[in-house]
Amino acid sequence: MTARSRADLASASRIVVKVGSSSISGESSWRIPIIVEALAAAHARGAEVVLVSSGAIATGIPFLRLDARPTDLATQQAAAAVGQNILVYRYQESLRPFDIVAGQVLLTTGDLENPTSRSNARRAMERLLGLRILPIVNENDTVATQEIRFGDNDRLAAFVAQLIEADALVLLSDIESLYTRPPSDPSAVPIDVVAPDADLSGLEFGSTVVNSVGTGGAATKVSAARLAAASGIGVLVTSADLVDKALAGAEIGTWFEPALS
């Protein structure tokens, strides 16, 4: 049943959680076991959980002995190929104590726009969830050149939530909630709830480039959240450090109310 409020996350049957590169790569890789523990708790109560995780390129960079995110497409693709392997290994090692097996699913937005590919992806995801596998989804960076250059996995997460008809989508960020202006602005005010028909045109959301390892930011999260909410999926945007509270239904973050038919 669709999560109509934050509190419903504690009992939601099917949840998609998205985490960005800056939260789990490089010096932030220590956060992976914390995120996994929260996912495992939801899994233990019977929920079907899908993790959409960025971070392949950022994770691969040090293994290619690079000092920074590469600017040429071929090296970005190479970093993604190496990093995806390492990233899923780290997740699986953290899942092992909970006796949960991860399943890697690499998609492009094009896969979800093509009816045949979309049907195949849905069938595979449904089977994985039925087998109590925890799917870890990422953009297929070795072929999705548009994502590497311009996009972000927030939108992919919204598409995945629509694909499997999730009850809720949780977009994990570096800050606890969205603000009316960039958080560094003294006049910024946290946003508590966004109604389906809310006019956000007067608000200022940050740049799409947030750091040297990932792409994204508040603007992409708002866009993805509204996309999912318009499909009847409740969306919470909050900090990766609060993932356990988020999945427990705590009153945190910014909640996008689902449009109800």
Q: What pLDDT, in 10s, does the model give residues 138-168?
A: 988 777 665 544 357 899 999 999 999 999 9
The model's confidence at residue 186, banded by pLDDT at 50, 70 and 90, is confident
**What Rg, from alpha-carbon coordinates, does the chain have?**
17
Residue with tokens 């985490």: 19
Q: Is residue 152 part of a domain?
A: yes
* 140 annotated among ligand-binding-site residues: no
pTM beyond cutoff 0.85: yes
* 94 annotated among ligand-binding-site residues: no
Q: Is residue 191 part of a domain?
A: yes
153 in Cβ contact with 54 (< 8 Å): yes
Q: Is residue 1 part of a domain?
A: no
Report for 26-30, 100-104, 204-208: range of highest mean pLDDT:
100-104
What is the tens place of the pLDDT at every residue in 121-140? 999 999 999 999 999 999 88
**Helices of type H across the chain:** 21-24, 31-44, 56-60, 73-95, 109-113, 115-130, 145-149, 153-163, 218-230, 243-247
Dig out the tokens for 132 from the structure: 């109590």
- Residue 251: how many CB atoms within 10 A of its CB? 10
| C-alpha triplet 104, 108, 111: angle, nearest 5° | 100
Picking from 136, 43, 28, the residue whose alpha carbon sits closest to that of residue 92 is 136
* 141 annotated among ligand-binding-site residues: yes
Dig out the tokens for 177 from the structure: 């909630």
- Provide CB contacts within 8 A for 102, sequence distance 6+: 88, 91, 92, 95, 133, 134, 135, 136
Which one is predicted more confidently, 96 or 143? 96
> Does 210 score more than 60 pLDDT?
no
**pLDDT mean across residues, the chain:** 90
**Domain range for residue 53?**
6-256
* 221 annotated among ligand-binding-site residues: no
Picking from 78, 72, 39, 38, the residue whose alpha carbon sits closest to that of residue 56 is 78
CATH of the domain at 167: 3.40.1160.10
- Give the chain's domain count: 1
Q: Is residue 261 part of a domain?
A: no
